[in-house]
Amino acid sequence: MVSPAGRSHVHTSCAIAGGRPSSNAETHTEIDAGRQLARLRQAWLGQFDGYQPQASLLHGDLWSGNVATLGRDEHRDEGVVFDPAVHYGDRECDLAMADLFGGFDAGFFAAYQGHWPLQRGWRERRRFYQLYHLLNHANLFGGHYVGICRKLIDQLGE
């Protein structure tokens, strides 16, 4: 939607249940998306200009609810992942999601780093990649996710 002043705005319900916006006026917010995106883009370029990750096949929804172990035999378990949202992107995206909601211990991340070391700056990029998933949760579930997104956008845009 474009305001009379020509600024782009996104109207989003912060409490969506079953795809229907909530009627609670306090849960609705207006975000000047163009301004916020410009701030985030500038922040990204200021920190990571020239970063060119290798495209990797991603799970896309890597959280602890989408992983399990199968007992291959009494001495060895085999890890499995399921319910993917497969796409290509920066491999750091999957790790950011895995870190966001917990369920993966430090050994998981250490093993990954030992197998295929991450490039310098990954900890800072992780927060940008986590924003996508948090915005999705704010759209789907509302509540505290909206405040988390606002705070993270402010922090990242500094």
Supply the residues annotated as catalytic: 61
Handedness of CA 64, 51, 158, 138 (dihedral sign): negative
The DSSP code sequence of 77-106 is EEEEE-S---EEEETHHHHHHHHHS----H
Q: Distance (Å, rounded) from C-alpha 86 to C-alpha 127?
A: 21
Handedness of CA 56, 41, 11, 14 (dihedral sign): positive
Core vs surface per residue 132-141: b (16+ CB within 10 A) or e: ebbbebbeee
- Residue 99 has a CB neighbour count (10 Å cut-off) of 20
- Residue 20 has a CB neighbour count (10 Å cut-off) of 9
